[in-house]
Structure formats: C-alpha cells, structure tokens
A and B are shown apart, each in its own frame.
Chain A
Amino acid sequence: MATRFVGIPFSAEFPATNFPQLLLSNQRPVLGYDAATDETAYWTDIAPQGITGTITLVITYAMVSATSGTVGFQAQIEAITDGDTTDTDATTSFDTVNNSASTTVPATAGHIDQISITMTNKDSIAAADYFRLSLNRDADGSAITDSATGDAYVLAVELRDGA
C-alpha cells in the first residue's frame, strides 16, 4: 500500500449545514463529529499519478468521553475527470457511500483508534482527477450501529492505494 493523500482538520471543508466543528483537543486540531446528528466534512485534492488498485481510507479518531460502545463512519469519493459533465458550481456527484464496520471505541477516552474503509465505490478515480473525499459519522445509526456517546474527534484521514 502507498499513501496517496492525508487530510487534517485544518484542511477540511464543510457543507453549509451539519458539519463537524473545528476544535482543539489538547492543542491538537480535531473535527468534532456529533453523536446524534450525522455531520460531514470534505477534503479536496488531485488524484496522484500512479494511483492504482484498491483504495482504502484510514480514519484516525479518538472519543472525547466515551469508553464503550461503537462508532461508524461513512466515506464517499467524488472524482471529476477532465471533460466530465459535472457542473461543479451547481451539483455534487459523490459515489455510493462506503461504510465502515461498527467499531468498538477505545476503552480510554483520548486514545486513538484507526478505522479502515475499503472504498469499493470510488467513482472510478484515476490519476489527475479532481476529487473530493467526504467523511461523515453515521451518528443516527442508519447504516452502521453507532452507540458511543459524545463527540468522535477525527484527527486525520489517510487515503491509500494498492501500489
């Protein structure tokens, strides 16, 4: 596997509504994903040359207070190729959601855990594509059991390919 993109809270972008707050946790920038409402953040990049194979998203997170229960994240990719007809100033074209497993949170609040999501639906991302990565917590449990209370602090996201 090769790291192809790293997203940090300071480089995150937000939709108009339902987005995680940009916070500092012990001076570490984090995105605070609510425990009740699904909140979404984006990262934008250009798909690197040589990107190939299975795409995997690795989410580094810690719980602000929960020491039990589970958390689930959902990730999507919107990849726009030169010549695509996506109207970027009017629409979005994210591929189907990729769900993480329902993951038991660390037993100590503040301890990090890393969740991997295989981006089976990756919108045919190819080298040089303008792409956005969308990450949300399935706080309402509509697709993944998410029972941990309190914010899930996302510290970073990493996109890997099969190189």
Chain B
Amino acid sequence: MAVRFDLAADRLLRTTDLLDYNAAYTWMAWLYISVDANVQVQAIGLNTNTNTSVDSIGFDATGTLIRLRVQNAGVGSNQTGSNLTAGTWYHVAMVRESTTSLKLYVNGVLDITHTQSVVGRGAATRMEIGANASTDAQPFNGRVYAIKAWSTTLDVAAVANEIYTVLPRQRTNLYGFWPCFLGASERLLDYSGNGRNWTESGTLTDEDAPPVSWGARSSFRIFVTTGTIYNQAIDATAGNAFTLIKSAGKIIAIANTPVFTKTALINKTLSYTAPDATTFIKQTGKNIVATNSASVLIARAITFIKTITASVGSAATFVKSIGKHVNVTIGNIVTFVKGIGKTIVSTANSAVTQIRNVAKSIATMVNSTAVFSKVVGKIVSFSSGTTSVITTAVTFLKTITANVGNIFTVLKNVQKPITITSSPAVTQVKQVGKIITVAISNAISIATQFIAGGGTLFFQTISASVGNVVDIKKSVGKIISIATTNTITFVKHINTSIVISTTNVVAIIKNVAKNITISSATTTIISTAKTILHVINASIANNISYVVNVGKSLSVTASQTITIPRAIFKTITIAVITNAQILKGLFQTINATISSVVTLSMQAIFGIIQTFYRDTATIALSIKDNASSALSTIHTKILELRGSDDAEL
C-alpha cells in the first residue's frame, strides 16, 4: 500500500543520521498527486528546517509542474520540468552528482538538471516527505510508495533499473528502502537493514500502490535430467519412475515398484521392497537388502564387502566375489560363480550353486541343493532333504553334516568327520580322514583307490548301523563296528578289531590283526592265506572258514562249521554240533564237545601233540590227507582218547 498525505502536518520524517545533501546521493520514490491544490508543494526534500538551505522535489504554483529546488543559505532557485497529471503514478528520482549538479529523473528520464552550487552549505537537519520544515510549508497532497535512497550517485541506467521493483537492485551504498507496507508501523519501516525508520507526523493513511512488483526471482525448482548429480536424499514413492545416472552420495530409498537403473557407483545402503526388480552393475559398498520376492542380479565384476540378505522368494545371482555374508532364506536360489569370502546361509528350499572356492561356512538347509566344485573352507551343513554334490576335486577342511534324507557325494578328500544320518547315500571315493558315521539305512561306498597300491586308509571309526551297507576297500585304521544285518567286505588290511554281530556276513581276505568275534548266525570267511593272530570267536550258528593260519585260539560253538585249511597254533574249541575241519597241522588242543565232528587232515593228525578231548556225544573223527579229502581210515597217534563213549578209530 502507498502512504497517503492529505494534511499539512502529515509527514514521514528523519532528523538524525541523514543523507548528506552536500555530497553524492540518490533519493527516489513513486509519487501520486491525489489533489491538485494549485499551490507550491515540496513533496520530498532535505533541509535545515528552513526554506533557505534545501534540496527538494515539488511542484510550482500550478500544483502539477514538477520542480527541483536547491537553496544554499538563501541563494538558489526552483528549476521546473514536466507537467504531471493528478491521479497518475510517476517515478521520481533526485540525484546529486556533485556540489554543482542536482538532477531530477521522471519515470527514468532526465527532466531537470540544477546547477546551483552547494559549496559551504550547512548540513541538513531534516529529511522529510509531505512538506518542508516544521512549519509544514508547502504540503503535499498525494501518495508515496517504494521509497529508496543511496549515499551515492545512480546514473540514468541505474535509476531506470530501480523503477519497476520495490526491492532495490543496487545494494551498494544503500541508505535505506521503505516499501510502505500497509499499517501504522509497517509504513515507517526501513527494510535495508540500516534501521533508518521514519517517524510519523500527523495522521498518515494507506491507499493503493502503483503496479510495481516487489522484484523477487521466479520459482526455483529441480528437475531430473541426464547427468544430474544428487547430493541429497532422494525419496521416490508409489508409482514413480525414477532414473538416476550419477553417483548417489546419499541414501536412496525406493519403495513400491519403481524402476531403477543405476549405472554409477552406489556407496550407500540400498533398500528395496516387494516386488522390486533391481539390477546392480556397479560396486556396492553397502548392504543390499532384497525382500519379498525381490530379484537381485549383479551382472558385472563386483566385490561385495557387505552383507547381502535375500529373503522369501528372492533370486539372487552373484557373479563376483562376495566379501560378506550372504543370507538366503526360504525358497531362494543363490548362484555364486566366484569366490565367496564369507558365510553363506541358505535355508528352506534354497538352491545354492557354488562353483568357486568357498572360504567360509556354507549352511544349506531344508530341501536345499548345493553344488560345490571348489574347496570348502568351512563347515557345510545339509539338513532335511538337502542334496549336496561336490563334483570336482574339493578338499573339505571342516565337518560336513548331512541330515535326514540327504544325499551326499564327496569326491575329494574329506579331512573332517562325515556324519550322515537318516537315509542319506554317501559315496566316498577318496580318503576319509575322519569318522564316518552312517546311521539308519545309509549306504556308504568307498569306491576308488587313493594311495599308491590302491589302499585308502581310514583313520577313524566307521560306524554303520541298521540296514547299512558298508563297502570299505581301503585299510581301516580303527575299529569297524557293524551292527544288525550289515555286510562288510574288507579287501585290505584290517588292523583293529572287527565286531560282527547278528546275521552279519564277514569276508576277511586280508590279515586280521585283531579278534574277530562272530555271533548269531554269522558266516565268516577268511579266504586267503594270512595269519590270524587273534582269537576268532564264532558263536551260535556261525560258520567260519579259515583259509589262513589262525594264530590264536579258535572257539567254535553251537552248530558252527569251521574249516581251517592251515595250521592252527592255538586251541581249537569246538562245541555243540560243531563241525570242524582242520586240514593242516594242528599244533594245539582240539576240544570237541557235544556232537562235534572234527575232521583232521593228515598233517593235522601228525601234528597232534595234544590230547584230543571229546564230550559225551559221539565223536566221529575222520583223518584227511593234505588234499583235504576224507580219509577212510584213521591212523593216529592219539596218545589218549578220553570219553564216556567208545570211539571208533
């Protein structure tokens, strides 16, 4: 709003810190003649509270002919210019260029140049708008708006530049500017920051201002264009299509199906939520979290140095080294084609293909398929229906645990225990460095030769339980316990005890350095010429065939048939319905009890130096020659034959 002067006393006044009207200055405003009083007017001026030392803009006695008044201690004059029209806004500017030049511009055009010298003029004591001096001389009846003043000269171009904005364009040497906003206090305020407010005299009011813009700049906005660098957080929400092609220095959060193509480095955390499809083709220095059926594809050589977590239904393909943990859960398919430096956890229906070295633990769980073709440096755990295939030369340095229903094929050296439970099928074609435990219906097959000479050494216990078939073609360095319906075939040295129970069939074709205990309908065949150095216990219904020397005691009980083709250096005890055939020299006592039939070979007979005892049962002795055929006659030097029954010799 403009300030309205309609009474002689109405004034905007300053009496201190004034413009120096004897030096360069510029003072301008918009001016409007409301009432042409046809009298002289001093509208805008500096004075000494007199009419004798003055710089002022006013009108002559016509009330509309603009004039510039300069007085120096009473010496001076009024210079007139253009005739203005009442009811029309004009921009006026009074510019002192020097002590002998004061110019008046009207609407930016030079209208008056006043050359009155002001050398020696006393300093002004009043800077006022509305009339001259405290005497209210020559009052102005009209409006003033957008008052601006500088303590310097503005040339014609600078004056023109200031006309059509309230806001000063030139800030240098700005003395003050007064926009004259509506209100008793507002109209007095200096907005320059110099605090040169007006003092009001009389009763000022507000009326409409001229059509002058404040002069602020147009609206400022940011648009996404090619090659824009973002250094602030960008949030894209529902349904936005968003393309960033520059580095993002801040967090980028994208939600609700945006399409995001990022070809530059991302060095902040990226969070994606369902059902985003995201392709990363640059290095990721931060966590990548893909959730809820998100697909994450890293297509170029990238080093991941942070944790990657893909959950529910996510398909993640990593073609480069992953330096951090990879967690794949529920239904995820994870393909690793490079070395993974950190733990990989694959759960619930995950398929994990590891074609490179895995330096960290891999845990593959429920129904997961894992293929490892390189060294596994850490624990590999397979559980619940997991199929794990190690197809190329891999050294497992850690425990491999395969649970229920797992099929586990280890084609390389296993340096750690292999524990297989609940119907996995395990094929061990290389050296087993640790305990192999096969439980419940597991089949363990060690199928190939490893060490020169064809022997794979088993250094740990092999336990095969119910229904297991264990085929060990290499040396077993530890106890082999085979329980319940197991079939064990040993084709190499066994240098620890072999315990075979219930319905086992044991074929030992090499040296048995330990006791062989055969119980419950077991058939034990030692089929090659070796020395049995320990006791062989064959109990109930066992049939034992010894084709090599038995270096220890041989106890045969209850319906056993024992065939010993070589010398027995120990006691042979044959009990209840035992058929014992000793085809070679017997150097020890043969005790045959109840219904035992002992067939001694020729050499055996000659070798008998012990007493032959028999039980009350009938003993039929048949002496065979070296050819192991039955002898028709018995010739013996039986030193003594004891028993309750007569023996036919």
Interface string of B212-230 (1 = CB under 8 A from A): 1111111101010100000
* Docked CA distance A11–B183 (Å): 22
| Distance between A3 CB and nearest chain B CB, rounded to angstroms | 7
Interface string of B163-206 (1 = CB under 8 A from A): 00011000000000000011100100000000000000000000
Does A29 interact with chain B (Cβ within 8 Å)?
yes
Does B1 interact with chain A (Cβ within 8 Å)?
yes
* Docked CA distance A11–B167 (Å): 11
Does A115 interact with chain B (Cβ within 8 Å)?
no
Whether A48 touches B209, Cβ cut-off 8 Å, given contacts A11-B217, A22-B166, A23-B181, is no
* Docked CA distance A23–B180 (Å): 9
* Docked CA distance A82–B182 (Å): 41
CB pair B221 A48 closer than 8 Å: yes
* Docked CA distance A50–B166 (Å): 34
How many residues on A have C-beta within 8 angstroms of the other chain's C-beta atoms?
27
CB pair B214 A45 closer than 8 Å: no
CB pair A10 B216 closer than 8 Å: yes
Does A49 interact with chain B (Cβ within 8 Å)?
yes
Interface string of A83-109 (1 = CB under 8 A from B): 000000000000000000000000000
Interface string of A1-17 (1 = CB under 8 A from B): 00111111111111111
Which residue in B1, B211, B213, B225 is a CB contact (below 8 Å) of A11? B213
| Distance between B518 CB and nearest chain A CB, rounded to angstroms | 88
CB pair A22 B223 closer than 8 Å: no
The closest CB in chain A to the CB of B215 belongs to A10
Max chain B Cβ within 10 angstroms of own Cβ: one of A13, A16, A22:
A22
Contacts of B235 in A (CB 8 A): none
CB pair B186 A8 closer than 8 Å: no
* Docked CA distance A43–B213 (Å): 10
CB pair B221 A11 closer than 8 Å: no
CB pair B219 A11 closer than 8 Å: yes
* Docked CA distance A43–B182 (Å): 23
Does B645 interact with chain A (Cβ within 8 Å)?
no
Which residue in A4, A13, A21 is a CB contact (below 8 Å) of B221? A4
CB pair A43 B218 closer than 8 Å: yes
Contacts of A13 in B (CB 8 A): 213
User: Helix, strand, loop or mixed for chain B's interface?
Assistant: loop
Which residue in B215, B217, B223 is a CB contact (below 8 Å) of A49? B223
CB pair A50 B223 closer than 8 Å: yes
Contacts of A5 in B (CB 8 A): 218-219, 221
| Distance between A114 CB and nearest chain B CB, rounded to angstroms | 17
* Docked CA distance A113–B167 (Å): 29
* Docked CA distance A13–B166 (Å): 12
The closest CB in chain A to the CB of B2 belongs to A21
Does A120 interact with chain B (Cβ within 8 Å)?
no
CB pair A48 B223 closer than 8 Å: yes
Does B155 interact with chain A (Cβ within 8 Å)?
no
* Docked CA distance A139–B208 (Å): 17
Whether A6 touches B1, Cβ cut-off 8 Å, given contacts A11-B213, A19-B211, is no
Q: Chain B interface residue count: which class? A: 20 to 34
* Docked CA distance A48–B217 (Å): 16
The closest CB in chain A to the CB of B167 belongs to A10
Does A44 interact with chain B (Cβ within 8 Å)?
yes
Contacts of A44 in B (CB 8 A): 218
Whether A23 touches B182, Cβ cut-off 8 Å, given contacts A14-B211, A14-B212, is yes
Contacts of A7 in B (CB 8 A): 218-219
* Docked CA distance A13–B210 (Å): 11
Contacts of B221 in A (CB 8 A): 3-6, 48
* Docked CA distance A126–B269 (Å): 38
* Docked CA distance A17–B87 (Å): 12
| Distance between A140 CB and nearest chain B CB, rounded to angstroms | 18
| Distance between A34 CB and nearest chain B CB, rounded to angstroms | 10
Contacts of B1 in A (CB 8 A): 21, 23
CB pair B214 A10 closer than 8 Å: yes
CB pair A45 B181 closer than 8 Å: no
| Distance between B169 CB and nearest chain A CB, rounded to angstroms | 14
Contacts of B212 in A (CB 8 A): 14
* Docked CA distance A49–B575 (Å): 108
Whether A24 touches B225, Cβ cut-off 8 Å, given contacts A6-B219, A14-B213, is no
Contacts of B215 in A (CB 8 A): 10
Contacts of B167 in A (CB 8 A): 10
* Docked CA distance A4–B219 (Å): 9
Interface string of A33-49 (1 = CB under 8 A from B): 00000000001110011
* Docked CA distance A78–B171 (Å): 34
The closest CB in chain B to the CB of A50 belongs to B223
| Distance between B231 CB and nearest chain A CB, rounded to angstroms | 21
Contacts of A16 in B (CB 8 A): 211
Whether A45 touches B219, Cβ cut-off 8 Å, given contacts A23-B182, A24-B181, is yes
* Docked CA distance A8–B181 (Å): 17
* Docked CA distance A13–B216 (Å): 10
Whether A12 touches B182, Cβ cut-off 8 Å, given contacts A6-B219, A6-B221, A49-B225, is no
* Docked CA distance A23–B1 (Å): 7
* Docked CA distance A144–B208 (Å): 26
Contacts of B183 in A (CB 8 A): 24
| Distance between A22 CB and nearest chain B CB, rounded to angstroms | 6
Q: With A14-B213, A24-B183 given, name 14 new contacts (CB 8 A).
A: A3-B221, A5-B221, A10-B167, A10-B213, A21-B182, A22-B166, A22-B214, A24-B181, A24-B186, A29-B214, A43-B218, A44-B218, A45-B218, A45-B219
- Mark A residues whose CB is within 8 Å of B: 3-17, 19, 21-24, 29, 43-45, 48-50
Q: Would you mind naming 28 contact pairs between A and B with Cβ atoms under 8 Å apart?
A: A5-B221, A7-B218, A7-B219, A8-B216, A10-B167, A10-B213, A10-B215, A11-B216, A11-B219, A14-B211, A14-B213, A19-B211, A21-B182, A21-B208, A22-B213, A22-B214, A23-B1, A23-B181, A23-B182, A24-B182, A24-B186, A43-B218, A44-B218, A45-B219, A48-B223, A49-B223, A49-B225, A50-B223
